[in-house]
Amino acid sequence: MRMREDIVRVVVREFEPERDKEAVEVLEKTCEVGPSGKMSLFTDLLGDPLCRVRHSPSFFMLVAETCGSQIVGVVRGCIKTVTCGKKPLRSPSGAKQYTPIYTKLAYLLGLRVSPAYRRMGIGLTLVQKMEEWFRSKGAEYSYIATDIDNEASISLFTLRSGYTKFRTPSILVHPVFAHRFPLHYRALRLLPLSPSDAELLYRRRLSTTEFFPRDIGSILHNPLSLGTYLALPSDYPWTGLDSFLAEPPASWAVLSVWNCKALFRLEVRGAGKWRRWLSKATRAIDKALPCFRIPSVPDVFRPFGMYLMYGIEGEGKDAAEMVRVLCRHVHNMARKGGCAAVAAEVAAEEPLKKGIPYWRRMSCAEDLWCVKRLAEEYSDGAVGDWTKAAPGKSIFVDPREF
């Protein structure tokens, strides 16, 4: 029998690693109940409940505890400064230029409530308490990401917490095969960029892109960022980044790689024996006959690692194909790194999306982002209310929050 809401009393307090770690792990496992008869994706945080926010500039975690000292809910949050719009910049040459408009943005994630204690207002209380911390740190907006089919989550945030449906980016996931992808270096060449050069390139090209983090340098210099790679025509005379920025080729592309495997592992559960057998058979054939390049299904039915591609940018008629080659390069990196998948998250209307290979069954066509204004006043009148801003063609997905 469901417990009545007026009987349950919980205390919401800050997460204490030494005291709460084991209890939070137990709670996370009890919440991992997928749809009956369907495959579901589960996350192993590798013993670090803060792993998905730890690398952000400012982060916080709350737990909900009953009078009997049982932890029945958790939520995480982090804060950073990002681009929320742009305004014209006067240029001596008369060329049309823009400068970014920044805002202090909070991200709320990892909300979990024990199944036995749901529909008692605990989730709403955790959200409200986290928003209090956001406001105390000067955050002007808060946003969350959820599955577009998660009706309970959407209802909590849009109907009870004042969030607005904002963006619907696509999560594109591709399996890592037993064979390597050919890169076709004849027409292209891939250049690794130093974190400093990558930062300069991104600030020049993406600083006015929605959600672009002001501390992009911290991301690129983080050990979890495995590198930034620039694709150029093989006949382009590369003499350094300065000359590239001054006179780029007609087509080019760039992306960076983040090591999610070091933070968490994923696992697909609920698959029937025939699916497991079929995937195992494809791996065996692919491994035995790599020259045939037969698409194979990696062992996603045990905990597996993943690399995330972020900062995907390019220009020119061949940019999408260059992105495809870069994605193949990341696939080969992931194969060597023992990962089972590579992923990217991009805006629904991202022009370079067609160059990112993915498997539909492993991907999410629409990941729902909801946003809420926390501040009484706007950081810059030029952008107005960001919650009402029309979507652009691109967004920047921060790998620290994926």
pLDDT at residue 3, as a whole number: 40
- Residue pair 77/61 in contact (Cβ under 8 Å)? The answer is yes
pLDDT at residue 200, as a whole number: 98
What six digits make up the tokens of 58? 């400012």
Residue 377 confidence class, pLDDT cut points 50, 70, 90: low
- Residue-wise pLDDT tens digits, 380-390: 555 578 999 99
Share of the chain above pLDDT 90, in %: 83
pLDDT at residue 5 tops 50: no
pLDDT at residue 379, as a whole number: 54
pLDDT at residue 160 tops 90: yes
Residue 142 φ/ψ, nearest 5 degrees: -130, 145
List, as one string, the DSSP characters of 26-78.
HHHHHH--PPTTS-EEEEE-TT-TTTTTTTSSEEEEEEEEETTS-EEEEEEEE
C-alpha to C-alpha distance for 27 and 70, rounded to whole angstroms: 10
Residue 140 confidence class, pLDDT cut points 50, 70, 90: very high
Let me know if 30 is exposed, middle or buried by CB neighbors in 10 A (0-12, 13-18, 19+): middle
pLDDT at residue 320, as a whole number: 97
The mean pLDDT value for 138-155 works out to: 94
pLDDT at residue 25, as a whole number: 93
pLDDT at residue 344, as a whole number: 98
The mean pLDDT value for 376-382 works out to: 58
- Residue-wise pLDDT tens digits, 328-364: 999 999 999 999 999 999 999 999 999 999 999 899 9
CB atoms within 10 A of CB 395: 22
Whose tokens are 């417990």? That residue is 3
Buried b (16+ CB within 10 A) or exposed e, 285-320: ebeeeeeeebebbbebbebbbbbbbbbbbbbeebbb
Residue 94 confidence class, pLDDT cut points 50, 70, 90: low
- What domains appear along the chain, each with residue ranges and CATH number? 10-169+366-401 (3.40.630.30), 172-362 (3.40.630)
**Which strands, in side-by-side order, build the sheet including 252-259?**
170-175, 341-346, 306-315, 252-259, 225-233, 188-193
The mean pLDDT value for 102-114 works out to: 96
CB atoms within 10 A of CB 274: 8
The mean pLDDT value for 92-106 works out to: 85
Strand partners, 315: 252
- Residue-wise pLDDT tens digits, 206-251: 999 999 999 999 999 999 999 999 999 999 999 999 999 999 999 9
pLDDT at residue 28 tops 80: yes
The mean pLDDT value for 356-382 works out to: 85
The mean pLDDT value for 48-60 works out to: 96
> Average pLDDT of the chain?
92
pLDDT at residue 1 tops 50: no
pLDDT at residue 33, as a whole number: 52
Share of the chain above pLDDT 70, in %: 93
